[in-house]
Structure 1
């Protein structure tokens, strides 16, 4: 009889069942260290990661921050008087005292250019907010209700699509302001904002309508409806947050477009008027002195073009970041 102490020990191979020996190991134990630390990102997280790598985003955002600061706190950039001037300085060129020179009435062009950002950007921002509210509301109603409501609102939007933008704004402003009889700057500004909002909402309506049509039959919308959620809750809690991305992108681009539109209307003499200071008014006043004093036109036009391009480029970069097909 063999001694039990000398009996051979049979080694048991390690178990390959994940529920046994490896049950306590983490799921991502075999992944690289950087992959284990990285958390899953959503659409906005991926978009922000993509935006951070684009120099165009940072350049346009920096310019926009500067323009917003100019509009909100112009005294940070200049201590000059943008309204009153001295005729003795009429059309004096740029110098160390006045970096952009003086206009025909002896006013500091640099101070007027800085203060001109306030009216231009304020009109554009308020017009975009009005456009998004009008178009977004009608787009949600048309897309969610469908049927004859959708057909009626879509045909109503087609009527405004048929109006040329500048011509429609001229008609609205001349109808409500006559031959420029009102001298109240806030009233004129309100008319310009109204005209831009009334003529710009159809595009927003179509964007929101298409987004709602693509989202309203999603599983979470059907589940919310089956659980008894009302129309208002479905729209505010489920539809609206998932349909805002294209509107925000378009709204960013629209700010730049409306800055140019306000300058066009002011240049034609039917938009903002003196004593309001805006880039369009400065360009209109400088057109007769282009050959003898080109700086009167160059500086406000340069600020206007830079502001428009900044908002348009920011909107384009955000659109590319939010659209997976363009990555």
Structure 2
């Protein structure tokens, strides 16, 4: 083979994203595949009405949490008058009044902030724990994988609600408001501590499937360290299932927070929480059903929004669903 033929062959291999020996340092053989995956997924999402329903609701509740005064119609949730106690909805007060005579619409609106803060904070912690532990277990394997997997199994044995309930019951009081035993930070951490295992399993399985690929072997042969291989070549392939799991889990965490608060171990008054509102209104459900109905509807819609988006992402990112 002449020098010109060898040069032409080398050029063709680089353009195709492969080499006869080592991968070209300027070419990522997975980039085109990843771009195709995300472009195809976006095209599928744009045609999915459930995705748009979930996205619109998610944006609505996010804006509600950021600027609640806009949705509260200028009503102060702490401006109460016992003369209006349990008054039914009207044209001036769409959600009526609570037991203390406070405008119930503003109370429900302000409850979105704590719920979303807890949901997002808990999921961030879940991702940090799950991705780190899963990546290490899947990449190194052997004894490391065995130990980390058994630790995850121990946490799997404790149900999410029960584990968080026990932890919040025995958690120490602190002087930092957000992470005291009944603050939003403590509730989020308690739920994250017993909810990271599924993310770990997803990442671990993806890392095991990808680490034997040719481009990973090429990166290792070129002298790339373990950290670089994990971050640049392996973890990007675990994004799709983790993204789906993350979206759904935000809804699950919000529902779990409301459950813990309803049981008396989550947020405490004077905090605003849908769980607190449902718990306070249950004794008056016959005379004032709106006290339970409205926070329950908003809570359900919020959880449904994230689950709809997660289901749509799962279908869009799974090629078998588009076949």
Class of the TM-score when normalised by the shorter of the 2 chains? 0.7 to 0.9
| Partner Cα distance (2:97, 2:177) in 1 | 26
Equivalent of 2:36, from 33, 37, 42?
42
The answer for the alignment partner of 2:199 in structure 1 is 204
| Partner Cα distance (2:224, 2:238) in 1 | 19
Matches within 5 A, 1:1-327: 42-78=36-72, 79-177=74-172, 184=177, 186-187=179-180, 188-327=183-322
The answer for the alignment partner of 1:22 in structure 2 is none
1:229-281: CA deviations, max 9, x gaps?
Answer: 01111111111211111111100000000010000000001000111101111
1:72-91: CA deviations, max 9, x gaps?
Answer: 11122121112331111111
Q: CA deviation at 1:186?
A: 4.9
1:285-305: CA deviations, max 9, x gaps?
Answer: 111000010001000000000
TM-score, length-normalised on structure 2? 0.86
Q: 1:184 to 1:83 in 2, by over 3 A?
A: farther
| Partner Cα distance (1:225, 1:47) in 2 | 30
- What's the secondary structure of 1:83's corresponding residue? coil
Q: 1:268 to 1:94 in 2, by over 3 A?
A: same
**Structure 1 runs not aligned, ≥5 long:** 1-38
| Partner Cα distance (2:177, 2:97) in 1 | 26
TM-score, length-normalised on structure 1? 0.85
Preserved contact between residue 256 and residue 307 of structure 1 (Cα < 8 Å):
yes
- What's the secondary structure of 1:42's corresponding residue? helix
Misfit runs of 4+, over 6 Å: none
| Partner Cα distance (2:91, 2:267) in 1 | 31
Aligned residues: 287
- What's the secondary structure of 1:269's corresponding residue? coil
- What's the secondary structure of 2:171's corresponding residue? helix
**Which structure would you say has the larger Rg?**
1
| Partner Cα distance (2:172, 2:264) in 1 | 12
Cα RMSD (Å): 1.7
| Partner Cα distance (1:297, 1:111) in 2 | 15
| Partner Cα distance (2:62, 2:176) in 1 | 26
| Partner Cα distance (2:296, 2:247) in 1 | 21
Bigger CA drift: 237-246 or 280-289?
Answer: 237-246
| Partner Cα distance (1:76, 1:256) in 2 | 24
Q: CA deviation at 1:283?
A: 0.5
- What's the secondary structure of 1:106's corresponding residue? coil
| Partner Cα distance (1:304, 1:208) in 2 | 30
